[in-house]
Structures are given as C-alpha cells and as structure tokens.
C-alpha cells in the first residue's frame, strides 16, 4: 500500500520560498500523477497542481507565477516550491496520488498526513 509523507520547514518568512517534499513508499512514482493540495486553517481545500512522472506539470492559474513542482523518481520524492509567500499562504499542505495510473481526475485515494506551514505577519 502506497504511503506519502510531507516534510519541510513549518515556518517560512514573508517574501521567502516555501519548500516541501513528499516522500513516497510502497510503490513506484512511475505512471502516476502526483498532486499538491492546501487547506488554510479552518477553511476549504485548494488545488495547487500536479507533476507527472515525466516531469510534466500543471498549476492552479492563481498560483502559477509562484509555483514550481518537480519529481525525482530515483529518490521516490516529488517537491513543491512556492515563492514570495505571504501570511495568506499559511495552510496545511497535502501531497496526494490518483487512484489510477496514467489518469488525472482529482480522484486522490492516497494522501500524506499534511504539513502545516506558517507564514507570520
């Protein structure tokens, strides 16, 4: 059974860059889309984007200018970088995987436990 685990600094200074890594165990990264989703405290979910095993990416247009995602299949990891952060970027950041290989429809059957990243005001 695939497992995902987010890691990275829990505190990022305003105007800095948020960097998170999702480490995958129990399965290969190949042929799957890997997604980042965030949830501000007490609020709803926001799709950040995905990276495919080939390195192809797709980002939320509202975040596109600040987001970079990458994947390292040899390390079983994929990463998120969000630049020029503000307090509005404070959220729990989740990594997730689709239930089916080679298919993208927001059907995330596997999730990390989430990583809270705070940007102080």
Partner 1 sequence: QSVLTQPPSASGTPGQRVTISCSGGSSNIGRNTVNWYQQFPGMAPKLLMYRDGQRPSGVPDRFSGSKSGNSASLAISGLQSEDEADYFCAAWDDSMAGVVFGGGTQLIVL
Size of the chain, expressed as the number of residues it contains: 121
Indicate whether 41 belongs to the interface with partner 1 (CB under 8 A): no
Of 24, 112, 117, 119, the one binding partner 1 by CB under 8 A: 112
Residues 79-98 binding partner 1 (CB under 8 A) are 94
Give the H or E element holding residue 33.
strand 33-39
Residue with smaller CB distance to partner 1, 17 or 63: 63
- Positive or negative, the CA dihedral 95, 101, 106, 110 is negative
Count, residues near partner 1 per rule CB under 8 A: 21
Backbone φ/ψ region at 64: left (φ over 0), alpha (ψ -120 to 50), beta: alpha
Least distance between partner 1 and beta carbon 100 (Å): 9
Least distance between partner 1 and beta carbon 30 (Å): 21
List interacting residues with partner 1 (CB under 8 A).
44-47, 49, 58-61, 94, 99, 104-109, 111-114
């Amino acid at each position: 059974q695939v497992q995902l685990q987010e890691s990275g600094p829990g505190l990022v200074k305003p105007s800095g860059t948020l960097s998170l890594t999702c480490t995958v165990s129990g399965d290969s990264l190949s042929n799957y889309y890997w997604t980042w989703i965030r949830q501000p405290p007490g609020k709803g979910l926001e799709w950040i984007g995905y990276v495919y095993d080939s390195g192809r990416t797709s980002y939320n247009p509202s975040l596109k200018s600040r987001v970079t995602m990458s994947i390292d299949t040899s390390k079983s990891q994929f990463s998120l970088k969000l630049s020029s952060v503000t307090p509005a970027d404070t959220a729990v950041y989740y990594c997730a995987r689709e239930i089916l290989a080679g298919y993208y429809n927001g059907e995330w059957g596997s999730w990390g436990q989430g990583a809270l990243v705070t940007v102080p005001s």
